Amino acid sequence: MKPRNTLFTLARRVLAVSLVALIFAVNGGVAFAAEEAAVAPAGETAIAPVGQPAPVLTEESYPLLGGGSSRVKVWIVAQLHLFFAAFVLGVPIFVLVIEGIGMATGDKRYDAMAKEFIKISMVAFSFTATLGGILLFLLAMLYPDFTVYSLKIFRPILIAYALLFFGESLCLYIYYYGWEAMSSGFGKWVHLTVGLLLNAAGMTLMVLSNSWATFMMAPSGVTPDGAFLGDVWAVMHGPLWNPINLHRFIANIAYGGSIVGAYAAYKFLTAKAPEEKAHYDWMGYTANFIAVVGLLPLPFAGYWLTKELYAYSQQMGITLMGGIFAWLFIIQALLIGAIFLGANYYLWLGLVRVPGGEAYRKAIGWMATVLLVCFLVWFTPHTIIMTSSEIKALGGAHHPVLGALGVMSAKNTAVNIMILTTFLAFLLYQRAGKIPKVGWARGGNAALAALFAAGAANIVTLGIYGYYIPANIRIGLSVPQVFTTLFVIAAASLINGVMYRGASETGPTRWGDMPARSQYALFLLAVSFTWLMGLMGYVRSGIRQHWHVYTVFRDYSPDAFTPTLGYAANVVSVTVLIFMAMVIFIFWLDNFSRKKAAHK
């Protein structure tokens, strides 16, 4: 039974991976073909537009609804909608994977955990839909001309959107309510297929709605004055569409993981029985693992997005990185730093529950030092805030040493080393309490150490080299740095995996044996992820500045200005708090239903 099961899992995994790959490939392939086709007529402008040019409005064209800024209302509702959407799209991805693992290993715990994950996302799913409805209502009420303009263009997609939404709901309900009924034999296969369909529908929904946002940032398929050319596909497939799709896909996984982690942490802290504590400890560990695995490739997806953004419009790129949003990235640095520290701290504490984990305690100090140094470099702003007496003492506003840490070469180096260090913490946790049986263990360890040392040396050397070459060549250096990081991660996982195959354990992991503060690290992750998403949502939307649709449909409303960072941060904070209140309500609902069930 067992080997057959493993075989099935393998097939299942391959199937799952290839389906995800297929969705992307189809997307990319069609996109590529369309791109080829679109290049030809661009120079000739032979196509006659079928739509009206974007309207020219006045402040009176924007109805008011109650007091307060219309933009803030739409902003908060849209962001809440996105929080929930990201969560309900992210969760089914890893639920499917976990269910597959459960089926492969025959370990019922995986199956139970997968079901619990999907249960949390059920209420969130209806919140997503409700918030989407409110958003549409608000847009139509407060920005009628814009809504009409975009609906005219996106009309065919809306029909597909509605159908897909219906399909997704159907899949979700069958997937969740049919879990027990389809728990064995062929039924399980059907169940997994439904899960796959659920993900396919969800992902398609996401890329459809992404096209709306990317059209507003980098319009395509319209004339320079905004008249629709008649091809919806050309509108959807703008220059930023695929970068945003990939970025959101990865971020959804990380985000879903972090929220589920917060759920597990909450249950852990309120659990009384040891076995319950053990279960939620394990769940929190898994969720944190998912969140960090999602987080690691995220900067690279971000690079791609920024690169495409620069290619689309240098002006937009400079507004983002050097204009009024330059200071935003120091806030982003703080948040990413908090997330890295939180995730690492959780891993360090995790060594507590592994017998034999003490052996790696000494490494914590060193890893923390490396993280700290990187973080300080990562956080040093390019333009330093100084009082006038400090400028006097320095003899100018430019600090020769700290200023040098503010440039891209230093930042890229720091973030790559931070990623490597976090990965190392993972690796050490994996090794804790295990004794390898292979004869070449000593050599393997030496190889691993050499790999890390060489990787770090390469990254640092490239970073220092960056100071000696002009800016336009320097930007290209981030690519070899990233590949070094990815290579070290891949090679080290491989060596370590082979080396510890069939290793003997010094004792079972003591799940549930975790101090309470470790769970607060999980909360920190969830809150920081949410806040970071809100912040980056603001900048993604904000770089359009005074345009509804960049360069073609100007914003004439009283809110056309770009708000200050502090103001935006306050809006984000309020949104995050509302979101958390709703999430806590969902957690409470879950507990409430259980109490009822217990009474019966």
Partner 1 sequence: MKRIPKLALTVGLIAAVYGLFVAVFTYILHLPVPASVMKMYMFFVTVVVLLVMTSNEDSARELVAPLEALVYQPRLRRLRAAVFIVAPLAGFGLTYNVTRPTLDAPLELRTVHPAPPNSVKVFGKTYNLLTLENPYRAKEKSDLEAFRQAVEEGKTVYFQNCHYCHGDKLDGKGHFSGGFNNPLPANFTDVGTIAQLQESFLFWRIATGGPGLPNEGAPWASPMPVWSNYLTEDEIWKVILFLYDYTGYAPRVMKEEKGHS
Partner 2 sequence: MKTLAQILAFSLMVVGGYSWFSNSIPQLRAEPPSEESVSLEGMTMESFVALGQTIFEGKGTCPLCHNAVGHRAPLLVEAGSDGPPVAARAPSRLADGRYHGTASKPEEYLRESMVSPSAFVVEGFGKPGTGDSVSPMPDVSAGSIKLSPVEIDAVIAYMQSAAGVDITVPLPTEAVETAESAPADEGAVKDMGALAEKYECKLCHIVPGVDMAGEAPDMGPDLNGLKRYAKGAPDKLPLREYLRLSIVEPNRHVAQGFEPDTMPPDFADRMRVSELDLAVESLARAAEGGK
Smallest CA-to-CA distance from 175 within 248, 96, 69, 106 is with 96
Please identify, using beta-carbon distances, which residue of 271 and 352 lies nearer to partner 2.
271
- Minimum Å gap between C-beta 570 and partner 2 is 6
Q: Is the dihedral of CA 264, 265, 271, 277 positive or negative?
A: positive
- Minimum Å gap between C-beta 421 and partner 1 is 12
Write the Ramachandran bin of 398: left for phi over 0, alpha for psi from -120 to 50, otherwise beta: beta
* Residue 536, phi then psi, degrees to nearest 5: -70, -30
Other beta carbons within 10 angstroms of residue 326's beta carbon come to 16
Q: In sequence order, what E strands does 160-279 have? A: none
- Minimum Å gap between C-beta 334 and partner 1 is 9
Please identify, using beta-carbon distances, which residue of 394 and 577 lies nearer to partner 1.
394
Q: Which token pair is 325?
A: 């949003």
Please classify residue 475 by burial: count the beta carbons closer than 10 Å to its beta carbon, then call 0-12 exposed, 13-18 middle and 19+ buried.
Answer: middle
Q: How far is CA 40 from CA 36, 37, 45, 308, in A?
A: 7, 6, 10, 20
Q: With beta carbons less than 8 A apart as the criterion, state whether 524 and 342 touch.
A: yes
Residues 436-475 that bind partner 1 (CB under 8 A): 470
Q: Measure the CA–CA gap between 345 and 368, rounded to whole angstroms.
A: 9
The residue range among 61-69, 261-269, 400-408, 436-444 that interacts with partner 1, by the rule CB under 8 A, is 400-408
380 interacts with partner 1 by CB under 8 A: yes
112 interacts with partner 2 by CB under 8 A: no
* Among partner 1, partner 2, none, residue 364 binds (CB under 5-8 Å by kind): partner 1
Candidate residues 3, 67, 396, 507; the one interacting with partner 1 per rule CB under 8 A: 396
DSSP secondary-structure letter at 227? -
47 interacts with partner 2 by CB under 8 A: no
Please classify residue 33 by burial: count the beta carbons closer than 10 Å to its beta carbon, then call 0-12 exposed, 13-18 middle and 19+ buried.
Answer: exposed
Residues 466-485 that bind partner 2 (CB under 8 A): 470-472
Please identify, using beta-carbon distances, which residue of 35 and 390 lies nearer to partner 1.
390
Residues 369-398 that bind partner 2 (CB under 8 A): 385
Q: With beta carbons less than 8 A apart as the criterion, state whether 22 and 106 touch.
A: no
Q: Which secondary-structure segment (H or E) carries 553?
A: strand 553-554
* Residue 504, phi then psi, degrees to nearest 5: -85, 145
The residue range among 210-218, 241-249, 282-290, 390-398 that interacts with partner 1, by the rule CB under 8 A, is 390-398
Residues 294-313 that bind partner 2 (CB under 8 A): 311, 313
Candidate residues 23, 158, 580, 582; the one interacting with partner 2 per rule CB under 8 A: 580
Site string for partner 1, 323-352 (x = CB under 8 A): --------------x---x---x--xx-xx
361 interacts with partner 1 by CB under 8 A: yes
Beta-carbon-side half-sphere exposure of residue 75 (alpha carbons within 13 Å): 27
75 interacts with partner 1 by CB under 8 A: no
Candidate residues 1, 273, 389, 439; the one interacting with partner 1 per rule CB under 8 A: 389
Candidate residues 48, 185, 388, 468; the one interacting with partner 1 per rule CB under 8 A: 388
Q: Measure the CA–CA gap between 272 and 292, rounded to whole angstroms.
A: 28
Q: Measure the CA–CA gap between 581 and 89, rounded to whole angstroms.
A: 20
531 interacts with partner 2 by CB under 8 A: yes
Which residues of the chain form contacts with partner 2 (CB under 8 A)? 224, 266, 269-270, 311, 313-315, 318, 323-324, 327, 330-331, 334-335, 338, 385, 470-472, 520, 523-524, 527-528, 531, 545-547, 550-552, 554-555, 560-570, 572-573, 576-577, 580, 584
Which residues of the chain form contacts with partner 1 (CB under 8 A)? 337, 341, 345, 348-349, 351-352, 358, 361, 364-365, 368, 371-372, 375-376, 379-380, 383-402, 470, 515, 517
